[in-house]
Chain A
Amino acid sequence: MPEETIGQHLKKQGISRRDFVKMCGVLVGAMGMKFAPPLEESGLPAQLNNVRDSASANLIANALETKQRVPVIWLEFSDCAGCSEAITRSQSPTLVDLVLNTITIEYHETLSAAAGFQAEKAKEDAMKKYAGKYILVVEGSIPVANDGVYCTIGGRTALDLLKETAKGAAAIISTGNCASFGGLPRANPNPTDAKGVWELITDKPVVNIPGCPAIPEATTGTIAHFVVFGGLPELDNLHRPKTFYAQTIHDRCLRRPFYEAGKFAESFDDEGAKKGYCLYKLGCKGPTTYSSCATIKWDQGLSFPIQSGHPCLGCTEPNFWDGGGFYQGQSAPLAPPTVTMAGAAVAAGAVLGVGAALANQVQKKGAHAEEKKEG
């Protein structure tokens, strides 16, 4: 099946050329074409260059029509399947359908009909068949403590499975904060020593699509980028696609004017909260959280947490579980000293101070004696 081109596949699905180009337009927006690599590098004919700016959608359409569908292996480790759920329920038929039509998911624990050895066999076959070509999507963190025994599938550890699958992958996409940065399983005290994929796999390109869950459009947009250009989009220092993670929530927040005006909700049910004031004092992490929640939003652009009245948790950032309480001020210190510590500091200072003063008292009394000695 994957041997047929995407264009052929779509035609078979009954999608008209007109609808297809429309969908490609959505895709262009989602991918943020600004970051698209030069066409030659991405294996597209150079003559398409002249249409790039004016007709990006056509460019994508042409690319998709002539390319083969990309095989995807989707692994789940210490996760909640929330990122998969988000993708399947994103209610965004144009984009997600398009993406699902451009890839073939060869293995997905939650979605595949097959189970047990049958499913594992299908994965092994796909790995062999598409060696070096498939995209590996990882969902969930990988526990490495005690040789990784805290997460096993079919008797094999997550770590083992990841390493094996990663070997033949063209690229790895970590979807969700768990696969990216360890997420919830990594929260203090992190008993299973959960890790993100990019900490374990260093010889393959790894894209992090953090979020809890990852914004489906970010995951699919990244996959689409790979499909269209045959490579990964430009990444930031945390390996996040700049398309979706270049700006903070704060930068695009609809409550930002209230922040500037110093109008804050002080509790969840006060007058300020009802008037839609800034949620900064309720612990909003917007100013330090890089994500496109505020622009792409969720449920077909219906809303996102801040819009619905809840402060941003900062789920696209590493260690967001341990980066201060969810309702603790964003500017508050992460580890304020306890009363005991402060008391100990006072005691230490007082002891040193008394010591110094006693030494100085001795010095004062001996001032003349010293002078006589020297004199």
Chain B
Amino acid sequence: MNWESTLEFARGPFFQVALLVFIAGMTYRLVAVLALGWKADKVKSKGSKVNGIAMSFAKGILIWPFIPWVKNTFTRNPITYLAGGLFHLGLFVVIFLGAAHVLVWKSLLGFAWFSLPQPIVDWLAAGAIVAMIALFINRLVNPVLKLLTGPAEWLNWLVVFLPMVSGYAMTHHVIPEYDTLFAIHMLTVDVLLIWIPLSRISHFMFYFFSKAIHGSDFGKRAVTP
């Protein structure tokens, strides 16, 4: 097997299977959790749950990232805060606004959107990689994270790190064989896609639920979440 046929496999049938596994797996996770049943909240609300939910998301996305020092998580654990933020920012920009990935979306969805200039995407990608390394070290150093981190966390880290590094290496042609890196990138992406439903990386889906639960609980009590 050479790299070209590996690439063809990783971009073709393997990617297709991985994506379908991802879709099926995430649907499974979502349905399995939601179908456990919600208990209706019979407590009379004081404030508006909807406002609470809106505030909860607004704070998470629009407010805290821009005034981080208000939170004692920023002052007490800046590495997790900053590196975590940078990692997610970099990841989202690269995945949704990088030229190459926009073409993937176009192929998958039939439509696409603008892409950012290469240097911006590139620096953010580099930032995300550095952030991941910082998070790795933080998990080795921080006493709480040492306690919380098991094989699953290290595996998750690796599975996310590999596609990022191979993608970065690919755009920077660290070795002349572009298709070798492309094949590695695609293989790791496929593994990631399959791994997500099996792991905590799926938190991006449950984020919307936990954040909404938080917001509605606080909104119900008329407290700013």
Contacts and interface: CB of A to CB of B under 8 A. Distances in A.
**In-complex A–B contact (CB below 8 Å):** yes
Interface of A: 237-238, 246-248, 250-251, 259-264, 280-281, 287-288, 317-319, 323-324, 328-337, 341-342, 344-346, 348-350, 352-354, 356-358, 360-361, 364
Given A261-B117, A333-B11, A346 B35 contact: no
Contact of B100 (A331, A346, A356): A331
Interface string B92-133: 000000011111101110000001111111000000000000
A288 B7 contact: yes
A221 B119 CA distance: 39
Given A328-B107, A336-B16, A357-B36, A259 B31 contact: no
B24 A345 contact: yes
Contacts of B33: 357
Across the A-B interface, give the 9 residue pairs with the lowest CB-CB distance, nearest first: A329-B103, A353-B31, A349-B27, A262-B117, A357-B35, A332-B107, A334-B12, A331-B100, A349-B24
Contacts of B173: 251
A248 B177 CA distance: 9
A14 to B, nearest CB: 44
B32 interface: yes
Contacts of A246: 176
A262 B115 contact: yes
A260 B122 CA distance: 10
Contacts of B25: 349
Interface string B2-13: 101101100111
Nearest to A360: B36
A330 B31 CA distance: 35
Interface residues of B, number: 49
22 contacts: A251-B176, A261-B117, A262-B119, A281-B99, A328-B103, A329-B104, A329-B106, A333-B11, A333-B15, A335-B16, A337-B108, A344-B20, A345-B24, A348-B27, A349-B24, A349-B25, A349-B26, A354-B31, A356-B32, A357-B31, A357-B35, A361-B36
B206 interface: no
Contact of A353 (B32, B103, B106): B32
Given A288-B182, A333-B108, 4 more contacts: A248-B178, A288-B179, A335-B12, A357-B33
Contacts of B19: 333, 336-337
A250 B107 contact: no
Nearest to A283: B103
Contacts of A342: 20, 23
Contact of A346 (B8, B23, B119, B121): B23
B4 A238 contact: yes
A60 to B, nearest CB: 28
Contacts of B7: 288
Nearest to A338: B16
Given A262-B99, A357-B32, A336 B108 contact: yes
Contact of A281 (B5, B15, B103, B176): B103
Given A357-B36, A358-B35, A264 B99 contact: yes
B143 interface: no
A344 B35 CA distance: 20
B38 to A, nearest CB: 12
A262 B116 contact: yes
A129 B121 CA distance: 64
A286 to B, nearest CB: 10
A360 B24 CA distance: 19
Nearest to B173: A251
A238 B2 contact: yes
Contacts of A349: 23-31
Contacts of B31: 349-350, 352-354, 357
Interface centre among A260, A287, A324, A333 (most CB of B within 10 A): A333
